[in-house]
């Protein structure tokens, strides 16, 4: 209702009526909660949110005008089903618009001298849209964020293509049979993950629950993989080849054998690591602070640790 | 061809051999539901029968997870009064229709118009009417016509068709249906499509282009032939090549083995 109200002038009858309904809505909401305790309560009038009822009232014109039968645009990020419906609607409308007018919807909206057919098309485009895209505060914030992130996903895909994954591996060799065995359990894992993703996209599943399920799948894979190949260097090489030579998730390789990958990377660099430390005289600027690069040989750290243990 | 034209055959395969369309299991569910409704089963009986069928024939089946999907498909099938299974074996194309397509004088447009015509005729047979409405997403039309275009260009090409009066798009803003306007049943039949794999090549063959029929065992698919010695489609050519390799090995295996031993 707040979203619908944003499309009317503050002094208008529609705006005032909607403000009244918003206040009443809060009361109806509280009543609905109390209803569970056994109280008798009045539900929200159906003509406020249902077209069929709004049509059959005395003030049908006003009721239809301010009908709140859809969710506002930004809700597509809250409900996966709404996002799906919105995307499908936009894709279909664009196709229809292109066939009829040779323009997509965006171009048609920007077109200045529209004919009757085009006006009619746009009228129904807004009516049939599964969400309200009024100029409400939340919708405007949503569009601003969308604009900021527009095209963000495509960054970095080319760099991945050039990446040489052999630096993550050790010189250990593996047999073809072991590779195919690991690949088959990896494919099983992918099927399970896909099924889980499909289920969670249909319903709103808690993020922590989703995370735990993924961890369970990964642990199962680890167990099965270790039964086939108990050499961690060999397993790491197989998993790296599986994930980096295909379009599979790279995160998976790091989750399964991240520690071995780090070990391999260190071995290639003589166990020397470089890392930035906050330093006022440093030559690297980041986040308003200055940093300097420090070099540490991990072989020396190991020796120091051993020495400490001996003293204790 | 994305549409299932021979549902009767698929039903026979499912009931006799336990066949399930693994790429799109909903196809099998729909066909089975149609069949069970046609023999006067209730919704609950249909559900139980399909559930039993999947338990017996599909390893990945999970009755809890699939419940909602089953119920949705069964309800959708139940809504229609007509539960007869499709059995479309051929589509006839008349002379005037082909001449109209040829008059476009653009091979890309001609192929698309031909595919649209085939789809319109199939839908007429399915719905038992003469409306010529194609209810399929345009990506399948372009894929069948073997024309590669992005979504925007696809729409613009179809807009050209609309301007030429070949099609009429739906007035509903979110509908991608189009009505094909150049169906002409009165002139004599020139072409009969019975095989719906690469069927767009039938039109090119009619136009006189060099189209071959694969000589592979039980294949007979149409393909663009580059020369006279081109006998097989891509898949069959691979099989034939491997067979030649195997035959050569069998013929000369003694020779190869002795050569290996001496090394």
Residue in chain B closest to A88 (alpha carbons) equals B174
- How far the first Cα of chain B sits from its last, in Å, is 54
Interface of B with A in 55-94 (CB under 8 A): 60, 65
* Helical axes A80-101 vs A116-128, angle rounded to 10°: 170
Alpha carbon B194 to its chain centroid, in Å, reads 11
> What percent of chain A has pLDDT above 90?
9
Higher per-residue confidence, B163 vs A52: B163
Cross-chain Cβ contact A101/B152 below 8 Å: no
A246, HSE (Cβ side, Cα atoms, 13 Å): 14
pLDDT band at A99 (very low <50, low <70, confident <90, very high): very high
Q: DSSP letters along B189-248, please?
A: EEEEE---SSTHHHHHHHHT--EEE--STTT--EEE--STT--S-HHHHHHHHHHHHHHH
Beta strand extents in chain A (DSSP E only): 71-72, 131-132, 272-278, 284-286, 289-297
Q: Which residues pair with B91 in a beta bridge?
A: B193
Cross-chain Cβ contact A95/B162 below 8 Å: no
- How far the first Cα of chain A sits from its last, in Å, is 69
Would you mind telling me the total number of residues written for chain B in this entry? 263
Cross-chain Cβ contact B173/A93 below 8 Å: yes
Helix (H) or strand (E) holding B168: strand B167-169
When CB atoms are compared, the residue of A97, A99, A195 closest to B178 is A99
In angstroms, the CA B255 to CA A44 distance is 91
Q: Which residues pair with B87 in a beta bridge?
A: B6
B174: left (phi > 0), else alpha (psi -120 to 50), else beta? alpha
The residues, any chain, with a CB within 8 Å of residue A121's CB and separated by 6 or more, are A97, A100, A101, A108, B173
A123, HSE (Cβ side, Cα atoms, 13 Å): 8
Cross-chain Cβ contact B159/A93 below 8 Å: no
**Residue B242 near chain A (CB below 8 Å):** no
Checking DSSP bridges between strand B133-134 and strand B178-180, what pairing results, if any?
A: antiparallel
Mutate to test the interface with B, among A98, A119, A125, A128 (most CBs of B within 10 A): A98
When CB atoms are compared, the residue of B60, B159, B172 closest to A99 is B159
Report pLDDT digits (tens) over A184-240: 888 888 888 777 777 776 666 677 777 788 788 888 888 888 888 888 888 888 888
Q: Which residues of B touch A99 (CB under 8 A)?
A: 155, 158-159, 162, 167, 169, 176, 178
* Helical axes B138-145 vs B151-163, angle rounded to 10°: 90
Looking at every residue in chain A, the average pLDDT score rounds to 82
Q: What is the pTM of this model?
A: 0.68
Chain B nearest-CA distance from A286, in A, is 42
Higher per-residue confidence, A191 vs A76: A76
**Residue B172 near chain A (CB below 8 Å):** yes
Q: What is the pLDDT of residue A216?
A: 84
When CB atoms are compared, the residue of B138, B169, B173 closest to A124 is B173
In angstroms, the CA A196 to CA A183 distance is 20
* pLDDT of A310 over the 70 cut: no
**What residues in chain B have per-residue pLDDT under 70?**
262-263
Q: What is the pLDDT of residue A158?
A: 56
CB B228 within 8 A of CB B123: no
Q: Which of A132-136, A158-162, A297-301 has the lowest mean pLDDT?
A: A158-162
The residues, any chain, with a CB within 8 Å of residue B133's CB and separated by 6 or more, are B120, B123, B127, B177, B178, B179, B180
CB B132 within 8 A of CB B168: no
In angstroms, the CA B29 to CA B11 distance is 10
Name the one residue in this structure whose structure tokens are 């050039």: A162
Alpha carbon separation from B9 to A8, A128, A243, B32, B119 (Å, rounded): 60, 40, 41, 12, 20
What average pLDDT does the segment A80-105 reach? 91
Would you say the C-alpha torsion A267, A270, A271, A275 has a positive or negative sign? negative
Report phi then psi at B73, rounded to 5: -65, -45
DSSP state of A205: -
The residues, any chain, with a CB within 8 Å of residue B161's CB and separated by 6 or more, are B109, B112, B113, B116, B167
Name the one residue in this structure whose structure tokens are 């944003």: A6
Mutate to test the interface with A, among B136, B174, B175, B178 (most CBs of A within 10 A): B174
Higher per-residue confidence, A203 vs A140: A140
Q: What is the pLDDT of residue A155?
A: 52
DSSP state of A126: H
Cross-chain Cβ contact B176/A95 below 8 Å: yes
Q: Give this complex's ipTM.
A: 0.81
The residues, any chain, with a CB within 8 Å of residue B235's CB and separated by 6 or more, are B216, B219
A-B contacts (CB, under 8 Å): 55
Q: What is the pLDDT of residue A311?
A: 36
Alpha carbon separation from A86 to A132, A237, B71, B136 (Å, rounded): 11, 43, 24, 20
Report pLDDT digits (tens) over A11-36: 888 888 888 888 888 888 888 888 88
Domain layout of chain B by residue ranges: 7-79, 91-196, 210-263
Alpha carbon separation from B104 to B2, B72, B99 (Å, rounded): 26, 43, 9
Chain A nearest-CA distance from B222, in A, is 31
> Domain B91-196 is in which class?
mainly alpha
* pLDDT of A305 over the 80 cut: no
Cross-chain Cβ contact A124/B170 below 8 Å: no
Q: Which residues of B touch A100 (CB under 8 A)?
A: 159, 162, 169
CB A133 within 8 A of CB A66: no
Q: Which residues of B touch A102 (CB under 8 A)?
A: 155-156, 159
Mutate to test the interface with B, among A90, A91, A93, A96 (most CBs of B within 10 A): A96
């Amino acid at each position: 209702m707040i979203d619908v109200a944003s499309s009317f002038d503050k002094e208008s009858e529609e705006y005032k009526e909607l403000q009244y309904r918003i206040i009443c809505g809060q009361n109806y909401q509280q009543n609905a909660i109390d209803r569970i305790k056994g109280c008798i309560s009045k539900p929200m009038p159906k003509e406020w949110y249902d077209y069929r009822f709004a049509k059959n009232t005395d003030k049908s014109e006003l009721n239809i005008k301010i009908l709140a039968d859809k969710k506002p645009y930004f809700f597509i990020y809250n409900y996966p089903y709404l996002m799906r419906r919105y995307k499908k609607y936009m894709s279909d409308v664009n196709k229809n618009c292109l066939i009829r007018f040779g323009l997509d919807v965006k171009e048609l909206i920007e077109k200045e001298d529209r004919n009757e057919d085009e006006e009619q098309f746009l009228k129904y485009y807004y009516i049939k849209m599964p969400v309200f895209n009024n100029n409400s505060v939340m919708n405007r914030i949503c569009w601003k964020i969308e604009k900021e992130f527009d095209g963000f996903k495509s960054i970095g895909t080319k760099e991945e293509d050039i990446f040489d994954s052999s630096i993550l591996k050790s010189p250990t060799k593996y047999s073809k049979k072991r590779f195919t065995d690991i690949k088959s359990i990896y494919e099983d894992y992918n099927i399970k993950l896909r099924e889980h993703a499909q289920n969670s996209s249909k319903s709103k599943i808690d993020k922590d629950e989703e995370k735990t399920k993924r961890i369970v799948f990964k642990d199962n894979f680890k167990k099965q993989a270790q039964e086939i190949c108990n050499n961690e260097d060999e397993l790491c090489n197989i998993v790296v080849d599986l994930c980096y030579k295909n379009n599979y998730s790279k995160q998976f390789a790091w989750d399964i054998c991240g520690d071995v990958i780090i070990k391999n990377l260190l071995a290639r660099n003589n166990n020397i690591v470089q890392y930035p430390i906050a330093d006022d005289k440093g030559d690297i600027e980041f986040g308003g602070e200055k940093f300097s690069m420090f070099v540490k040989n991990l072989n020396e750290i190991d020796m120091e640790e051993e020495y400490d243990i001996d003293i204790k | 061809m994305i549409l299932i034209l021979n549902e009767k055959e698929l039903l026979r395969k499912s009931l006799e051999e336990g066949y399930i369309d693994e790429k799109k299991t909903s196809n099998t569910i729909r066909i089975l539901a149609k069949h069970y409704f046609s023999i006067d089963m209730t919704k609950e009986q249909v559900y139980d029968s399909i559930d039993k069928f999947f338990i017996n024939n599909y390893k990945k089946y999970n009755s809890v997870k699939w419940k909602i999907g089953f119920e949705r498909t069964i309800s959708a099938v139940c809504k229609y009064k007509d539960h007869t299974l499709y059995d479309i074996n051929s589509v006839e194309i008349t002379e005037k229709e082909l001449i109209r397509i040829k008059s476009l004088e653009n091979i890309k447009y001609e192929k698309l118009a031909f595919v649209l015509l085939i789809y319109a005729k199939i839908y007429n047979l399915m719905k038992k009417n003469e409306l010529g409405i194609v209810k399929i997403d345009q990506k399948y039309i372009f894929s069948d016509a073997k024309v590669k275009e992005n979504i925007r260009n696809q729409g613009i090409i179809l807009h050209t068709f609309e301007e030429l009066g070949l099609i009429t798009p739906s007035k509903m803003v979110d509908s991608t249906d189009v009505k094909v306007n150049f169906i002409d049943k009165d002139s004599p039949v020139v072409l009969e499509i019975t095989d719906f794999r690469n069927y767009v090549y039938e039109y090119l063959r009619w136009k006189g282009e060099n189209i071959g029929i694969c000589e592979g065992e039980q294949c007979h698919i149409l393909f663009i032939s580059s020369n006279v010695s081109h006998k097989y489609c891509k898949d069959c050519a691979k099989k034939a090549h491997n067979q030649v390799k195997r035959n050569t090995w069998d013929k000369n295996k003694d020779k190869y083995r002795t050569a290996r031993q001496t090394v």
